[in-house]
Structure 1
């Protein structure tokens, strides 16, 4: 019988032949083993239930194995949220956290902003210097994006050379300022320790959720559309809409560029 089957048998009470149930400590150990198996499969809620049952059986006694498993559980859960290369949050966490924030944040006051960041001409970096070098650029990029984020904000790797900055509790003007500062910081960064001729810039699209209902896909889609506009208008720029459904503008010095393409407006 496997661990889970054993747990179900032994914690249910006396055996059918009338023999007493296994001792509380042994049953707690079985719960712990089941929790370890479930945690390794990523079934965190069920694993926690078994841990809780073990603690109850032990009457709250100190139990090193449970403490160890709880720590491993927390570490594994955090690692499952992280991108293995850059240590930023991953796409799965981004989608889950955005969905939660869109239901929690008071959109009538400051709202929620999402900035999508794409490294300009990153394919040329990989083609010229190789993918391992490109990986080092991505890792450095996360450090620069994280450098001035507000406490409530976070960075996630959206995919490839794209990253997302999530800025809850920030209005559009604040989010554009944060994004423009990040763009400028990256453009001015000294990349020469990676390669003497390396220069890196980014393009950014900033979307703002201010009314409900807002779906994660819609918010990401708007940020992606604005990111594309930033690239089409010459790259190394931050694009945003001054009002819902309004014209797209570029932040900072890029705002003086002659041609700023106006993408098809999203509906709804």
Structure 2
């Protein structure tokens, strides 16, 4: 239903009770339509009118207006949180990732992919697959420093973002995440279940250079992730002096030239 934006102005200036009612009614309709910003503005106007009336002739500010403002503020904050959070895993989503990468100065990123996830779904069912996704996120988050975060990149891929982490710290963080997933007792979730992840790390070099396009850093992490997949999975891949290296160290072939 369309909102009559002129309703407050149409009410006489000498009728503060009418103005209050008009602002409140419009705020409710806007909130019902999901227009939180304008609804909040109207409730704020109602609260200011109530305060002005209290100073002139009313012994007490109507409490319902303050309560409505607070309720709408909470609902707006909740809606904003949900728009930036993945519903299944409760971690951040791609929208939040893209926004934060645009704000941070070349943080270290690690792209994490669950190995053979389609096989897990096919063998154990999608319900177990969902449990695996949720548990992997919980394990990844346990390895993060306070200023880092995890976001679901899509499907069974996740991105770990560590602001200020240099190459050694970024690789160590990724290896802790890999080892934690590999060491979890997955048979407690379902007998016969085994889960590992492969990781590609694109660290901040520590120089004054800045990546103008954060997607380039994600593309680098993606290329290294697939190097880890090709090398046998359950590995962390990173670059060192122009070579792709793996953790844990591969027995047969520890380095590869840059592709």
What interval of TM-score do these two structures reach, taking the shorter chain for normalisation? 0.7 to 0.9
TM-score, normalized by length of structure 1? 0.81
Quote the Cα distance in structure 2 between the aligned partners of 1:224 and 1:95.
15
Unaligned runs of 5+ in 1: 106-110
2:133 is the counterpart of 1:141:
no
Structure 2 counterparts to residues 103-252 of structure 1, below 5 A: 105=105, 111-210=106-205, 211-242=209-240, 246-251=242-247
Distance 1:138 1:119, change over 3 A: same
Alignment-derived partner of residue 108 in structure 1: none
Aligned residues: 245
* SS, match of residue 111 in structure 2: strand
Distance 1:204 1:154, change over 3 A: same
Unaligned runs of 5+ in 2: 53-60
Alpha-carbon shift at residue 214 of structure 1 (Å): 2.6
Verify the 8 A CA contact 1:119 1:200 in the aligned structure 2.
yes
Alpha-carbon shift at residue 46 of structure 1 (Å): 4.2
Quote the Cα distance in structure 1 between the aligned partners of 2:245 and 2:37.
45
Alignment-derived partner of residue 9 in structure 1: 6
Per-residue CA deviations over 1:149-196 (Å, capped at 9, x if unaligned) read 111111111111111111112112111101101101111111111122
Distance 1:254 1:31, change over 3 A: farther
Q: Which has the larger radius of gyration?
A: 2
Alpha-carbon shift at residue 115 of structure 1 (Å): 0.7
Per-residue CA deviations over 1:117-155 (Å, capped at 9, x if unaligned) read 001111111111111111111111111111121111111
RMSD: 2.5
Q: Structure 1 residues 44-53 or 120-129, which shifts more?
A: 44-53
Alignment-derived partner of residue 75 in structure 2: 72
Distance 1:9 1:113, change over 3 A: same
Alignment-derived partner of residue 58 in structure 1: 50
TM-score, normalized by length of structure 2? 0.84
Match 1:86 to one of 72, 86, 89: 89
